[in-house]
Structure 1
Amino acid sequence: VTYNYKIKIDRRTGEPLNSHCECPAGKGPHGTCKHIAAVMMMLMHFIQTGDVQVEKCCTENLQTFHKPKAFYNDQGSPVKTQNIPSKRKHLDSILDDPRPAKFQNLKGYNDHVRNSLINFCSTSSMDISLRYIYPKVNVTENDCKAIEKCTRKQSKCNEWFSHRKWRLTASRFGEITRMTCRRNKNKLCKTLINSHKIVRKCLLHGKQFESKAICKFEVQKGVKCRPSGLFVRPDFPFLGASPDGIVDGDFLIEVKCPYNGRNDKILPGKCFPFLYRNKSGEIALKEISTYYAQIQGQLFIAKRKYCYFIVYTFVDLFVQVVDYDENFCLNSLVPKLSMFYEKYFRPYLASLL
């Protein structure tokens, strides 16, 4: 708030004759408010010193609150390298170059040395424990055949567990490829290593009735199924697949015996969420199901074209021929599995060594 004031002073004696201020306490003709007093004190100071200090009040300045603090850099502005004077010329005359004359000041020599050092470091930068894993999974075509033959008893033989230990196996492909960024990768790797230690009702039920499902399938289709071991590919040695059997040359079989629907007719729904009705009204396996990823992984690794997908209950049997989906395998399934193996699974294996 600003107040106007009037003061009348005797020129000879300097005494105030009358005073008036707009504030309530300074009404004239002889006002005595603090505003009048401040003006009189300022006049007195001016007469004595000849100097008047005038300062703006806080309300006359621009707003200073609600403003971020100014950044203060005590290091100063960085100096560009182009502005730094070079001492190279002076050093060349002082320091002795031990290289033979023919190797001095060669064009591109500095880049050559730098690249050689970088390349040398890159060849030896891998953790030795990671390199140790390669011999465990690398196989030839003959090795693949031998592994499949010696592991046909699957969970009933030690070789099957031994060869699976260092690999991602088809039964977990769906889980791996569908994992989200929030999934704990170390826990997933741990379950992949220790999957044989998991005992559940559904798994025991599946093992118990798998052979009955295969027998019923053989009678219904008039075919003969032989046991299958662990399939491995030389070009993707870190992947493995153990189908439930092989029919003829190009057919694999994969059997599912759902525990929850063991007494039901096989229809899409709560007990069989992996099934749906296609446009023709036929029951079929969902392509977004983890079972689909498992079957496609088996076909890719075993280099087969077809798979009999069999669902067995005590009252029903469902069979579907699933074709090999090359586009799905090469453009989605295998790249995701390769990324997971390199980024998470192999380092986890190395940590166990």
Structure 2
Amino acid sequence: MQAPDLKWICPHCWRRVPRPLMSCISHRSRWGLVNEDTARESYLMAMQDLHADLNVAASGLIINPELPWIGASPDGVVTCACHEPGVLEIKCPFIAKDRTLNECVKDSRFCLTVTEEGVMSLKLDHSYMYQVQAQMRVAELAYCDFVVWTPQELFIQRIPFDDLFFDEAYLKVVNFIRTGILPELLGKWSTVPRLSATATSEKTPVGCYCGKPVDNADNILSCTSEQCR
């Protein structure tokens, strides 16, 4: 499970497992893929005068042994001679293709907002905030340069790691996996057809997720938790 999924998981429970989110690349995703390299070069040009020996290295999937349930794939790892390393996350929103960022922030679906002080920033409750916080924790880096690229503008925000934000979200991820994904993988908890309460005798022992009667209960190790079916 990778970082962008954290925002979706947190308000959900195992009873609402979704269908596959995408079966093909949408035109919005294609727009982002086509323009990502251009956005990265724009970022380097904008930041090179502010940092010594600035470099962005490509990054694949990062796995942290301390966090076995999630992985992260940032758009790069930022290094320079004047600061510690960080991750780079690039967004090329299709909604901003023909609009300015000031116009886009008026749309409640957009990732950026303008504070009371007039500062544009990433929304704290947006899925991208969950994404970059997870990337920083998995990669064990202190900041993320969050970039929003449009054909007309470039937005850059350096976001520090927030351990309280991540810890709260990760607890919900672990709970989702333990109560939703693992029972489904091991015993088809949500999808297997179940026998009705009247289909078997009350005296017939049942010790499996499937709800079918057990021939020899002595060979079954059952859970005594009230949360089990």
Decide which of 63, 67, 73 is 1:242's aligned counterpart: 73
The C-alpha deviation readout for 1:218-264, integer Å capped at 9, x for no partner, is 01101321101111111221211100111015210111111121122
User: Hey, what does 1:295 align to over in structure 2?
Assistant: 132
The CA RMSD measured in Å over matched residues stands at 2.0
Which residue in the other structure is 1:252 paired with? 87
Deviations 1:179-224 (A, max 9, x none): 3x6x8533x2x527xx5x4321111111111111001100110132
Helix, strand or coil for the counterpart of 1:270? Answer: coil
SS in 2 for 1:334: helix
CA distance in 2, matches of 1:174, 1:235: 20
Aligned to 1:318: 155
Structure scoring higher RCO (CA < 8 A, sep ≥ 6) equals: 2
Report the AA paired with residue 100 of structure 2: K
Give the Cα separation in 1 of the matches to 2:149 and 2:39: 6
Mark the runs of 5 or more structure 2 residues left unpaired by the alignment: 49-53, 189-229
Could you tell me how far apart the structure 1 residues matched to 2:55 and 2:6 are?
Answer: 28
In the other structure, the counterpart of 2:5 is 172
Distance 1:351 1:262, change over 3 A: farther
Q: 1:274 to 1:178 in 2, by over 3 A?
A: farther
Residue 16 of structure 2, aligned match among 185, 189, 204: 185
Q: Secondary structure at the match of 1:339?
A: helix
Residue 216 of structure 1 corresponds to 42
Taking the aligned partners of 1:340 and 1:326, their CA distance within structure 2 comes to 20
Bigger Cα Rg: 1
Contact 1:311/1:319 (CA < 8 Å) preserved in 2?
A: yes
Distance 1:316 1:242 in 2: 25
User: TM-score with structure 2 length normalisation?
Assistant: 0.71
How many residue pairs get aligned? The number is 177
The residue number in structure 1 matching 2:106 is 269
Shift of 1:272: 6.2
Deviations 1:37-69 (A, max 9, x none): xxxxxxxxxxxxxxxxxxxxxxxxxxxxxxxxx
Does the 8 Å contact 2:15/2:180 carry over to 1? Answer: no
| Aligned equivalent of 1:230 | 61
Structure 1 segments unaligned to the other structure (5+ residues): 1-167
Task: Write out the 4+ residue segments of structure 1 that deviate beyond 2 Å after TM superposition.
Answer: 183-186, 346-352
The AA in structure 1 aligned to 2:97 is: R
Corresponding position of 2:211: none
Residue 344 of structure 1: which of 180, 191, 199 is its match?
A: 180
C-alpha separation between the residues in 2 aligned to 1:302 and 1:216?
24
Identity rate, percent: 26
Q: Which has the higher helix share?
A: 1
**Are the counterparts in 2 of residues 261 and 272 from structure 1 also a CA contact under 8 Å?**
no
What TM-score do the two structures reach when normalised by structure 1?
0.47
